[in-house]
Protein backbone atom coordinates (compact mmCIF):
# COMPACT_ATOMS: atom_id res chain seq x y z
CA UNK A 1 0.00 0.00 0.00
CA UNK A 2 2.84 2.38 0.82
CA UNK A 3 4.48 1.73 -2.54
CA UNK A 4 1.21 2.40 -4.37
CA UNK A 5 0.72 5.71 -2.54
CA UNK A 6 4.29 6.77 -3.33
CA UNK A 7 3.76 6.03 -7.03
CA UNK A 8 0.51 8.03 -7.05
CA UNK A 9 2.31 10.93 -5.38
CA UNK A 10 4.94 10.85 -8.14
CA UNK A 11 2.21 10.97 -10.81
CA UNK A 12 0.16 13.75 -9.26
CA UNK A 13 2.42 16.70 -8.51
CA UNK A 14 2.07 20.42 -9.17
CA UNK A 15 3.62 20.01 -12.65
CA UNK A 16 0.74 17.71 -13.61
CA UNK A 17 -1.92 20.28 -12.72
CA UNK A 18 -0.11 23.35 -14.08
CA UNK A 19 2.15 22.06 -16.84
CA UNK A 20 5.44 23.25 -18.23
CA UNK A 21 5.23 26.50 -20.25
CA UNK A 22 5.33 26.21 -24.04
CA UNK A 23 6.72 29.12 -26.05
CA UNK A 24 5.32 29.55 -29.57
CA UNK A 25 7.12 31.05 -32.57
CA UNK A 26 5.40 34.44 -32.13
CA UNK A 27 6.51 34.71 -28.48
CA UNK A 28 3.24 33.68 -26.85
CA UNK A 29 3.71 31.48 -23.79
CA UNK A 30 1.07 28.77 -23.26
CA UNK A 31 0.73 27.12 -19.85
CA UNK A 32 -1.49 24.02 -19.79
CA UNK A 33 -3.85 23.58 -16.83
CA UNK A 34 -5.33 20.14 -16.08
CA UNK A 35 -7.88 18.63 -13.75
CA UNK A 36 -6.60 15.62 -11.83
CA UNK A 37 -8.82 13.01 -10.15
CA UNK A 38 -7.39 10.28 -7.97
CA UNK A 39 -9.15 7.24 -6.55
CA UNK A 40 -7.66 4.72 -4.18
CA UNK A 41 -9.08 1.71 -2.37
CA UNK A 42 -7.82 -1.30 -0.47
CA UNK A 43 -9.13 -4.01 1.77
CA UNK A 44 -8.16 -7.20 3.47
CA UNK A 45 -9.31 -10.01 5.72
CA UNK A 46 -7.72 -12.53 8.04
CA UNK A 47 -9.85 -15.65 8.44
CA UNK A 48 -9.77 -19.18 9.83
CA UNK A 49 -10.18 -22.39 7.88
CA UNK A 50 -12.29 -25.48 8.77
CA UNK A 51 -9.18 -27.46 9.59
CA UNK A 52 -8.20 -25.08 12.41
CA UNK A 53 -6.90 -21.65 13.13
CA UNK A 54 -4.91 -20.54 10.18
CA UNK A 55 -3.15 -17.53 8.97
CA UNK A 56 -5.10 -17.17 5.78
CA UNK A 57 -5.15 -13.66 4.50
CA UNK A 58 -6.87 -12.16 1.53
CA UNK A 59 -6.42 -8.60 0.42
CA UNK A 60 -6.15 -6.27 -2.47
CA UNK A 61 -5.80 -2.69 -3.47
CA UNK A 62 -6.17 -0.51 -6.47
CA UNK A 63 -5.77 3.04 -7.65
CA UNK A 64 -6.72 5.15 -10.60
CA UNK A 65 -5.63 8.56 -11.86
CA UNK A 66 -7.47 10.65 -14.45
CA UNK A 67 -5.80 13.69 -15.98
CA UNK A 68 -8.04 15.91 -18.09
CA UNK A 69 -6.85 19.13 -19.77
CA UNK A 70 -9.22 22.02 -18.97
CA UNK A 71 -7.53 25.26 -20.09
CA UNK A 72 -4.45 27.10 -21.27
CA UNK A 73 -3.06 30.34 -19.90
CA UNK A 74 -1.91 32.42 -22.89
CA UNK A 75 0.66 35.06 -21.95
CA UNK A 76 1.63 37.65 -24.56
CA UNK A 77 3.02 41.16 -24.14
CA UNK A 78 2.30 41.09 -20.40
CA UNK A 79 -1.37 40.17 -20.89
CA UNK A 80 -2.76 36.89 -19.60
CA UNK A 81 -5.77 35.24 -21.19
CA UNK A 82 -7.54 32.01 -20.21
CA UNK A 83 -8.44 29.68 -23.07
CA UNK A 84 -11.00 27.15 -21.84
CA UNK A 85 -11.06 23.72 -23.46
CA UNK A 86 -14.31 22.63 -21.82
CA UNK A 87 -17.91 23.01 -22.87
CA UNK A 88 -19.27 26.53 -23.29
CA UNK A 89 -20.74 28.13 -20.16
CA UNK A 90 -24.18 26.78 -19.28
CA UNK A 91 -25.61 29.72 -17.38
CA UNK A 92 -25.16 33.44 -16.78
CA UNK A 93 -22.92 33.04 -13.74
CA UNK A 94 -20.55 30.77 -15.69
CA UNK A 95 -20.44 33.30 -18.54
CA UNK A 96 -19.59 36.13 -16.13
CA UNK A 97 -16.81 34.10 -14.51
CA UNK A 98 -15.38 33.20 -17.93
CA UNK A 99 -15.51 36.81 -19.16
CA UNK A 100 -14.14 38.43 -15.98
CA UNK A 101 -10.40 38.34 -16.86
CA UNK A 102 -10.98 39.85 -20.29
CA UNK A 103 -13.27 42.56 -18.90
CA UNK A 104 -10.72 43.45 -16.21
CA UNK A 105 -7.99 43.78 -18.87
CA UNK A 106 -10.17 46.08 -20.99
CA UNK A 107 -11.16 48.27 -18.02
CA UNK A 108 -7.51 48.53 -16.91
CA UNK A 109 -6.44 49.53 -20.41
CA UNK A 110 -9.19 52.18 -20.55
CA UNK A 111 -8.21 53.63 -17.14
CA UNK A 112 -4.53 53.75 -18.15
CA UNK A 113 -5.45 55.45 -21.43
CA UNK A 114 -7.52 58.08 -19.60
CA UNK A 115 -4.65 58.76 -17.16
CA UNK A 116 -2.20 59.21 -20.04
CA UNK A 117 -4.63 61.52 -21.88
CA UNK A 118 -5.03 63.70 -18.76
CA UNK A 119 -1.28 63.85 -18.23
CA UNK A 120 -0.75 64.80 -21.86
CA UNK A 121 -3.45 67.51 -21.82
CA UNK A 122 -2.11 69.04 -18.59
CA UNK A 123 1.36 69.08 -20.12
CA UNK A 124 0.05 70.95 -23.19
CA UNK A 125 -1.64 73.61 -21.01
CA UNK A 126 1.65 74.56 -19.37
The predicted-structure confidence for 54-96, as pLDDT tens digits, reads as follows 667 788 887 777 888 888 889 988 888 888 887 666 677 777 7
Which of 7-11, 38-42, 101-105 shows the lowest per-residue confidence on average (mean pLDDT)?
A: 7-11
| Mean pLDDT, the chain, integer | 78
Residue 29 — pLDDT band, cuts 50, 70, 90? Answer: very high
Residue 119 — pLDDT band, cuts 50, 70, 90? Answer: low
81 within some domain: no
Could you tell me if 50 and 104 lie in one domain?
no
18 within some domain: yes
Total domains in the chain come to: 2
Measured distance CA(92)–CA(94) in Å, rounded = 5
Could you tell me if 67 and 25 lie in one domain?
yes
Could you tell me if 34 and 5 lie in one domain?
yes
80 within some domain: no
Predicted TM-score (pTM) above 0.85? no
Which letter, b or e, does each residue of 5-22 get, where b requires 16 or more Cβ atoms within 10 Å of its Cβ? eeeeeeeeeeeeeebeee
∠ Cα 101 104 109 (to 5°): 130
93 within some domain: yes
Range of the domain at 107: 87-126
pLDDT of residue 97: 72
Amino acid sequence: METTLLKIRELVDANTIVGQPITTADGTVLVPVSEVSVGFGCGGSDFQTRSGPGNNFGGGGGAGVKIYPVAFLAIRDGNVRVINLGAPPANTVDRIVDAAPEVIDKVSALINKNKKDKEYSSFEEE
